[in-house]
């Protein structure tokens, strides 16, 4: 493998579809349209059209997964460590696609978008979206707009991994391989509880105003608290101990007051909260956490084994030792149910002290796994493709 590099300067593009009356019917029963989809692509689509890799992002992610938006961009896309020339998801071999899911606030249609019926932001008139709705919109982007029949691989961590599972179930012919990372087939009671605390923090902020704050003061205090509690769940007892311990901001001096943060971990959390509210919409936070809460493959299909009945993709399932939000046992449930359906699945629990956030951090073992899995998939899809009678 060559030197690792950046995909360089990239641009977010937009596609609009589902113009009324051709609105998309959502799982909750409502119809949504028009729908804007923000997406980015890197690398080149092979003439065989068999090298497309779709990345599904998590709660606070967006379409900008790699590269820079400008030469002086302070930081690259959210998974730039994984995606680029020579990287684990090698843009010299694969055509990489990432789109912002609906319900979000990063360019795709969500509660902060204009409701065509009123000319004002949807706010809570935005319909509830589910993981399968997110996947339907991605499917339209990939198939209708980008003209692809099949993805080499769909990859995502956390909520992104939920989308991966839904893709493999809803579009078995369009997903050659699937890689759910640090994910689950249904959010746990504890996961729902943490989401609910975040939502309650937002509801409790008078600036939230029942969701009608656009043009006014957004509920930054509530959203910051939601983000703080979220951040604790993304780390681990061990990683917080290693990163902060009981270190003080003003070394050695306890202040014995309720002023500025005394412990480094308090300062970290406040910073995370303050930074988040500058880049995220509180109503989107509500909608996306609800989509996570609703995700429940065993319930939707009668059992997890039933859910995977029609799956034809091969799988690489990855979990992390210190992830207590989406613990390994939840990945094992996925693996067992795939096995029960005769699906070809590899599983690896990776050592990491970093908790759920581990999938966003450099991890040579994870990178090698992904690199090899994708390379093997590409060899196999081409071997199969060259003999396939229906090949165009």
Query: Which residues contact a second copy (rule: CB under 8 A)?
Result: 28-29, 124, 127-128, 186-190, 192-194, 196-197, 199-201, 203-206, 211, 221-222, 224-225, 228-229, 232, 235-237, 240-241, 243-246, 254, 256-258, 261-263, 265-266, 269-270, 273, 286, 290, 293-294, 296, 299, 324, 327
In terms of CB distance, is 290 or 371 closer to a second copy?
Answer: 290
In terms of CB distance, is 280 or 315 closer to a second copy?
Answer: 280
> Least distance (Å) from a second copy to the CB of residue 269?
6
Name the nearest CA neighbour of 55 among 94, 2, 24: 94
Name the nearest CA neighbour of 60 among 265, 208, 230: 230
Among 90, 195, 281, 323, the one annotated catalytic: 323
Active site annotation includes 207: no
Active site annotation includes 73: no
Classify residue 25 as left (phi > 0), alpha (psi -120 to 50) or beta: beta
Q: How far apart are CA 234 and CA 240, in angstroms?
A: 10
Are the CB atoms for 96 and 43 separated by under 8 Å?
yes
Among 6, 158, 185, 313, the one annotated catalytic: 158
In terms of CB distance, is 60 or 233 closer to a second copy?
Answer: 233
> Least distance (Å) from a second copy to the CB of residue 266?
5
> Least distance (Å) from a second copy to the CB of residue 237?
5
In terms of CB distance, is 86 or 298 closer to a second copy?
Answer: 298
Peptide linkage before 99 cis (omega within 30 of 0): no
Are the CB atoms for 175 and 167 separated by under 8 Å?
yes
In terms of CB distance, is 243 or 382 closer to a second copy?
Answer: 243
Task: Enter the tokens of residue 329.
Answer: 């046992």
Among 64, 139, 231, 356, the one annotated catalytic: 356
> Least distance (Å) from a second copy to the CB of residue 277?
11
> Least distance (Å) from a second copy to the CB of residue 313?
26
In terms of CB distance, is 174 or 282 closer to a second copy?
Answer: 282
Peptide linkage before 111 cis (omega within 30 of 0): no
DSSP state of 19: -
The CA distances from residue 53 to 125, 226, 234, 338, in Å, are: 34, 32, 26, 21
In terms of CB distance, is 229 or 305 closer to a second copy?
Answer: 229
> Least distance (Å) from a second copy to the CB of residue 19?
24
Q: How far apart are CA 155 and CA 163, in angstroms?
A: 9
Task: Enter the tokens of residue 47.
Answer: 């003439």
CA dihedral 84, 90, 92, 95 (to 10 degrees): -90
Alpha helix stretches (DSSP H) within the chain: 131-139, 159-170, 189-204, 220-234, 237-243, 264-279, 282-294, 297-301, 304-307, 328-340, 364-387
In terms of CB distance, is 107 or 127 closer to a second copy?
Answer: 127
> Least distance (Å) from a second copy to the CB of residue 191?
9
**What is the Cβ-side half-sphere exposure of residue 279, based on CA atoms within 13 angstroms?**
11
Active site annotation includes 125: no
Q: How far apart are CA 269 and CA 222, in angstroms?
A: 14
Residue 95 φ/ψ, nearest 5 degrees: -100, 110
> Least distance (Å) from a second copy to the CB of residue 158?
16
Are the CB atoms for 152 and 53 separated by under 8 Å?
yes
Residues with catalytic roles: 158, 323, 356
């Amino acid at each position: 493998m060559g030197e690792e590099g950046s995909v360089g300067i990239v641009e977010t593009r937009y596609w609009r579809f589902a113009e009324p009356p051709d609105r998309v019917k959502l799982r909750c029963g409502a119809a949504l349209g028009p729908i804007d989809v923000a997406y980015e692509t890197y690398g080149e689509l092979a003439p065989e059209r068999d090298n497309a890799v779709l990345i599904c992002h998590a709660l606070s992610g967006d379409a900008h997964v790699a590269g820079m938006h400008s030469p002086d961009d302070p930081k690259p896309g959210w998974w730039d460590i994984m995606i680029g020339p020579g990287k684990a998801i090698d843009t010299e071999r694969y055509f990489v696609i990432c789109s912002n899911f609906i319900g979000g606030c990063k360019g795709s249609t969500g509660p902060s978008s204009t409701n065509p019926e009123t000319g004002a932001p949807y706010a809570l008139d935005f319909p509830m979206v589910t993981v399968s709705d997110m996947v339907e919109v991605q499917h339209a982007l990939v198939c209708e707009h980008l003209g692809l029949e099949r993805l080499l691989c769909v990859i995502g961590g956390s909520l992104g991994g939920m989308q991966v599972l839904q893709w493999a179930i809803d579009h078995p012919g369009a997903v050659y391989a699937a890689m759910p990372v640090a994910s689950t087939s249904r959010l746990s009671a504890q996961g729902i509880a943490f989401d609910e605390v975040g939502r309650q923090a937002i509801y409790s902020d008078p600036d939230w105003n029942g969701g009608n704050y656009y043009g006014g003061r957004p509920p930054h205090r509530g959203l910051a608290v939601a983000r703080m509690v979220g951040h604790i769940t993304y780390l681990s007892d061990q990683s917080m101990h290693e990163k902060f311990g009981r270190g003080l901001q003003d070394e050695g001096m306890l202040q014995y007051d309720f002023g500025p943060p005394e412990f480094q971990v308090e300062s970290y959390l406040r910073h995370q909260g303050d930074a988040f509210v500058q880049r995220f919409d509180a109503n989107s936070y509500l909608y996306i956490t609800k989509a996570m809460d609703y995700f429940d493959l065993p319930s939707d299909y009668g059992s997890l084994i039933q859910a995977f009945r029609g799956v034809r993709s091969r799988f690489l399932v990855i979990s992390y030792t210190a992830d207590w939000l989406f613990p390994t046992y939840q990945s094992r449930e996925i693996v067992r149910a795939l096995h029960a359906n005769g699906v070809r699945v590899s599983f690896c629990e990776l050592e990491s002290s970093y908790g759920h956030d581990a999938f966003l951090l450099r991890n040579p073992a994870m990178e090698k796994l992904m690199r090899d899995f994708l390379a093997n998939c590409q060899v196999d899809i081409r071997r199969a493709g060259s003999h396939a009678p229906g090949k165009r």
